[in-house]
Every structure is written in C-alpha cells, then in structure tokens.
Amino acid sequence: MQRSATTRYPILLVHGLFGFERIGHFELFHDVKDALKTADCRVFVPHLSATHDNEVRGKQLLTQIDSVLRGTGARKVNLIGHSQGALAARYAAALAPHAVASVTSVSGPNHGSELADFLRKALVPGRLPEVVAQNVATVFADFLSLLSGSTTLPQNALAALNALTTEGVGDFNDRFPQGLPGTWGGHGPEQVNGVRYYSWSGVLPAIGLATLDPMQGACRALSQYFMTEGEQNDGFVGRFSSHLGQVIRSDYPLDHLSSLRRSAGKVTGQFDPIDLYVEHAARLRAVNL
C-alpha cells in the first residue's frame, strides 16, 4: 500500500444518512481517517444533519468547506462522500466549483436507491405508518446528534427518505447533473467546471467467512427489495446507480457499510476496503489535487 499519498488539497470525509463524526470514543470514519493521516493527508470530517435532504446537507457542507479553507489556507478541498454524503458533495461542487478540487462518491446512490423506493411505497402518505416512521427516525437522529454534540442541526427523516428515492434523486440530478453518466452503467465526464469526479462501490460478497459480520447480514437481508439490480447491489445501493465520473470499480466485494470500515469478521488475506482510500489519495496526488 502507498505509504505517502499527501494530497495538494485537504480531504473532507462526508457522511451519509444517520452518519456522524464522533460519538464518545467511536468515530464513523476512524479506520479511513487514520489510514489517510498515516499517508500524510490532511483530513476533516464535517458535521451534517444525520437526516435531511441533499440540498440542506449540501448547504451545511458548503459552510464547513469555507471553515476548512480559512483554517488551512488552502484554495480548494477534495470531497469524499459515502452514501448520501456523495449527493451533498455533488451539491457543494455544483454551487462552488471554485472551492472543490474533486468529488468522490463511495457507494453513493447517484441515481437513487431501490431500497428507498420500497420504504417510500411502504409508508402511506399522511397516515399513521408515515408519521410513526418519521417520528422514530427523527428521534433516533436527534439522539445521535445529542451524543455527537451536534444538537443545533435540523433533522427531517421523511425529507431524507424522499431525497434518496429514484424519483427524488432524479429531480436532484436534473438540477445538478455534473459527473453523471450519459448511459446507464457507463462512466460520466471525468471533469466538469474544473472539478474532477470519481466513484467506487461494491456488491454483496459471496457467502463465506465474511458473513460473520452482522452488518453484512443486515445488508444481505435488505438486498431482497432490489428489482432492477437484484443481483448487483450492496444492500442499500445498486451497482450501476452508484456510477459517477470516472468509475474506478463498482463491484468490489463490499456491502454498503463495509465500504467505510473493516468488517468484524475480517480474516487474513481478505480484501481491505480502507486501502482504497489511500490508493485514491495517491490518485488525487498524481493529478496535483
């Protein structure tokens, strides 16, 4: 693995739905951040609403990009967004391309999530199930915010769900198409308005020792709700739905959560997803980003 991958611009790791920077001693991006720092990268994790739509979270990200630029003296930042974090990163880059050197989508639902479609249909608008689901999810998000110290950020679970459906992301893409492929399953433009776009993602690995990880078991259970990409998804996002810009690879043996952490059941010689982030930092460095 590359030992020194110092990028020209700082890296911001942008979390997705129900994400956070730190709760107590637990950091969501702990493995990724440590690996990047070991490779001599400057790394920051912005505070965004755990549940809200892409534009609200994107505006929050823009504010924190400004803070990083002021604090470091850098002219731009590299954004690496996991899951819904990719959409917030895309929004920020579309509105402030002068401040963003690159956007990298990791397991991002860039064309929507079939799981979100299923959940949206399961909730009857305006009736008890929708109200109960929104209240439970918002209370959970508020609890995460309280634990992480980000109590001032707004939460809206229903807005988040609507923003992740195929229809919701389709509307978002109409307004912010930068980096999107012109054909389903293809690559998108690698550079738009001076911003480079990249993506990588995975599909559920074959059943084996890796299934010792309970999170992978949950992703495997959720994958049954995919129709279009029934055999090609990570439990939350379909393989081709994740494509953006230069597609590094979209079939790594990774479930949705394993793309930002090492699996609990990891065995010697098993694929390590954290290496991908350091390799990508070296890739950014190679193009002077």
Give the residue numbers annotated as catalytic, written as ranges.
83, 234, 256
- What DSSP designation does 196 have? E
Cα distances from 112 to residues 45, 108, 160, in angstroms, run 24, 9, 12
Among residues 284, 275, 287, which one has the least CA distance to residue 2?
Answer: 275
Name residues whose C-beta falls within 8 Å of residue 149's C-beta, 6 or more positions apart in sequence.
none
Among residues 226, 229, 235, 230, which one has the least CA distance to residue 259?
Answer: 235
H/E element holding 43? strand 43-44
CA gap 113, 125 in Å, rounded:
19
Cα distances from 211 to residues 15, 157, 271, in angstroms, run 24, 29, 14
